[in-house]
Amino acid sequence: MKQRIVTGIIAAIVFLTLLYLGSYWFTGLIVITSLVGFYEYVKMNKLNPFSLTSFVGYLGVGLLCLPWTLTAISVISSSTNLIWLLLFVLLCITVLSKNKVTIDHISTLFLGVVYIGIGFHYMIETRMMEQNGLFWTLLIFFCIWATDSGAYFTGSQFGKTPLWPTISPKKSIEGSVGGIIISVVVAICFSLLHSELLSWKQAIVIGVIIAVVGQMGDLIQSAYKRIKGIKDTGTILPGHGGVLDRVDSWLIVFPMVQILALLPHA
């Protein structure tokens, strides 16, 4: 527990500092984190993380992470173009390798690139919003963290009814509800700090959606790890596991918040 707390404090200080600085600082952090996450994903699927095919995946993740409008190359100026080009290259590898690299192999890599690349991309996009990017990014992160903490402590004290025992036996419905309530409380606090940006009604909606979607992101990762027979995706964060263990909710919440246009006055 001591190691877990020390790691968490150090990671939080570094992360929040670079988040505050924004610009290339936060972008660089997210891109590096995404590449480490993809490495864990490849290893988790028992593939060679240093093969040519995997390097195509790293390139795809890196490109998907970056704000697409910043590139001067029009053909990769949108997610649709990037995703299709990546798929084309991976499919070509199956032909050029004479099926030594199989369709199953590239399907796994392709899923990982889109899942990780798009998820991290929207973290950068949110922080780089022209108006109040730091506020909205902090709102989302704090609601995610509040959900995790609220679900854990509420579940520990009052959890009796399993939420989804075949996927994550320790999670309870009581804990899930507690996570949602704490997320809403945190969102309302943000509303009280800047009511001109976020009304209390909008805060409730955002708090609920982030909590529900975030918990689903956690369950998605749990389902994947259960199939692979592993507890953690990596060991880079002592006491916390790997990158993907820490960002499972982030990867789902940030795209969903942007897709649903939940950020008022954004």
- CA distances in angstroms from 153 to 47, 113, 238, listed in the order given: 37, 33, 22
Burial of 193 (0-12, 13-18, 19+ CB in 10 A): exposed
Rg of the chain over CA atoms, in angstroms? Answer: 19
**Which tokens go with 144?**
């995610």
Task: Look at the block and give the residue holding tokens 């390798």.
Answer: 97
Residue 136 CA to residue 59 CA, distance in Å, equals 28
Burial of 97 (0-12, 13-18, 19+ CB in 10 A): middle
State residue 182's pLDDT score: 97
State residue 164's pLDDT score: 86
State residue 151's pLDDT score: 93
Can you list the alpha helix ranges (DSSP code H) found in the chain?
Answer: 2-21, 23-44, 52-65, 79-96, 103-127, 133-158, 173-193, 200-228, 243-259
Residue 145 CA to residue 180 CA, distance in Å, equals 11
Cβ contact 164:131 at 8 Å:
no
Cβ contact 184:212 at 8 Å:
no
Residue 187 CA to residue 139 CA, distance in Å, equals 7
pTM of the model: 0.91
Q: Which residues does the chain have with pLDDT short of 70? A: 1-4, 68-77, 238-240, 264-266
Burial of 113 (0-12, 13-18, 19+ CB in 10 A): buried
Cβ contact 65:117 at 8 Å:
yes
State residue 74's pLDDT score: 53
Residue 136 CA to residue 264 CA, distance in Å, equals 9
- CA distances in angstroms from 9 to 5, 13, 214, listed in the order given: 6, 6, 22
Task: Look at the block and give the residue holding tokens 């991976």.
Answer: 90
Residue 189's nearest CA partner among 180, 198, 177 is: 198
